Amino acid sequence: MELLKGKVAVVTGGTRGIGYSIVEEYLKNGATVVLCGSRKESADKAVESLKKTNSKFKVEGIYPNLTDYKSVEEAINYVAKKYGKVDILVNNAGVSARESIYDYKVEDFDNVIALNVNAVFYATKAVAPIMKANGGGVIINTSSMVSIYGQPAGCAYPASKFAVNGLTKSLARELAPDHIRVNAVAPGVTNTDMVANLPEAMREGICKTIPLGRIGEPVDVANAFVYLASDMAAYVTGEILSVDGCARS
Which residues from 92-131 bind ligand NAD, rule CB under 6 A? 92-96, 115
Neighbours of 191 (CB within 10 A): 18
Nearer to ligand NAD by Cβ, of 85 and 125: the residue is 125
The length of the chain in residues reads: 249
Residue 96 beta carbon to ligand NAD: minimum distance, rounded to whole angstroms: 6
* Number of chain residues interacting with ligand NAD (CB under 6 A): 26
C-beta separation of 14 from 33 below 8 A = yes
Q: How far is CA 151 from CA 63, 72, 164, 169, 194, in A?
A: 31, 30, 16, 22, 15
Instruction: For ligand NAD, give the closer residue by CB, 195 or 219.
Output: 195
Contact between 134 and ligand NAD per CB under 6 A: no
Non-local (6+) Cβ contacts of 88 within 8 A are 4, 7, 8, 9, 10, 26, 31, 137, 138, 139, 140, 229
> Cβ neighbours of residue 227 under 8 Å, at least 6 residues apart?
3, 233
- Do the Cβ atoms of 154 and 210 come closer than 8 Å? no
Shortest reach from residue 1's CB to ligand NAD, in Å:
26
- Binding string, residues 6-35; x marks residues near ligand NAD by CB under 6 A: -------xxxxxxx----------------
* Contact between 144 and ligand NAD per CB under 6 A: yes
Smallest separation (angstroms) from ligand NAD to the CB of 116: 6
For the annotated catalytic residues, the residue numbers are 157
Of the candidate spans 1-9, 23-31, 188-196, 222-230, the one that interacts with ligand NAD by CB under 6 A turns out to be 188-196
Instruction: Read off the DSSP letter of residue 12.
Output: E
Residue ranges that bind ligand NAD, judged by CB under 6 A: 13-19, 37-38, 42, 66, 92-96, 115, 142, 144, 187, 189-190, 192-195
